Amino acid sequence: MRSSRLAYGCWRVAGTWNPAEVTAESRAAGRRAILAAYEAGYTLFDNADIYCRGEAERILGEVLREVPGMRERVVVLTKGGIRPAGDPEPDAPGRYDFSAAHLTRACEESLRRLGVETIDIYLLHRPDYLAEPEEVAQAFSQLRTAGKVRCFGVSNFRPTLVTALQAACPMPLVAHQVEISLAKLDAFTDGTLDQCLIERITPMAWSPLAAGLIGGGASRLLPSQQSYRPERFLPELDAVARARGVSRTVVALAWLLKHPARIMPIIGTIQPERIREATQAAGLELTREEWYRLLVAARGEPVP
């Protein structure tokens, strides 16, 4: 399965996380963003059932239906396994659910919202502490046999849990989506990228610009991102950007693209000009020296 080096992430296309707050204007802005990404050459579209409780999938599905030939030219990825508080009973806590019954139901609901017959890649969104690898493998096999999913992967997993799941699955896991950026370096040292190299799993980097801290400004930080310190590396990033005649955004993405595991950054902005700007990263090859200068700056100390 082939796609563009950058993926477009649909988590912002509804304009909100609350379905009741979605407006005609926010939907139109999301549709424009998806179209801008498609026209700019993005061919992998990342989504999840939890994004505005399915509204992001519906908006992507509308565009897929309205643009002739788009569905045949793109890879559709979505994720499942997170159950919000109140589902299905009012007192149910927010949790993760990899039971075969839930994964099957969640996948079928995503298919309906997307309006497609087959999801190209289906990811388990966050690790379920009660997951039974054999049960997950059974659900995957049934979904693939039924023609509902082509390939499978995971998101935010520990490498050891990936190993446990892969041992139970008859099909290879093709993608692992984790947070990777100059502000979030864990994947380089916790075994995630090493495992991707060994198993030929494509690492997908969510928040590759640290929720905007690296690019045009952050509008919504996750709690875990509050402690990021981009001021440590932004001067070095800007120096490389000036020398190369591009923006710091392009350099930060090119930094990820250089890794031999072939990291795929997921671009989540809904601003068409930034969506287009990001594509320049695919044509920028950083030197080894530039790459390490940025790593050292991001670490805040020399390499060990």
What is the Cβ-side half-sphere exposure of residue 273, based on CA atoms within 13 angstroms? 3
Question: What is the DSSP annotation of the chain?
Answer: ----SSEEE-TTTTSSS-GGG--HHHHHHHHHHHHHHHHTT--EEE--TTGGGGHHHHHHHHHHHHSTTHHHHSEEEEEE-EE-TTSSSTTPPPEE---HHHHHHHHHHHHHHHT-S-EEEEEE-S--TT--HHHHHHHHHHHHHTTSEEEEEEES--HHHHHHHHHH-SS-EEEEEEE-BTTB-HHHHSSHHHHHHHHTPEEEEESTTGGGTTTT--S---GGGTT--GGGTHHHHHHHHHHHTS-HHHHHHHHHHTSTT--EEEE----HHHHHHHGGGGG----HHHHHHHHHHHHTS---
Cα–Cα distance measured from residue 28 to residue 42, given in angstroms and rounded to the nearest whole number: 19
The residues annotated with a catalytic role in the active site are: 51
Cα–Cα distance measured from residue 50 to residue 11, given in angstroms and rounded to the nearest whole number: 9
Cα–Cα distance measured from residue 43 to residue 70, given in angstroms and rounded to the nearest whole number: 9
Residues 49 and 80 sit within 8 Å (Cβ to Cβ) = yes
CA 192 to chain centre: 15
User: Which tokens go with 256?
Assistant: 């990820």
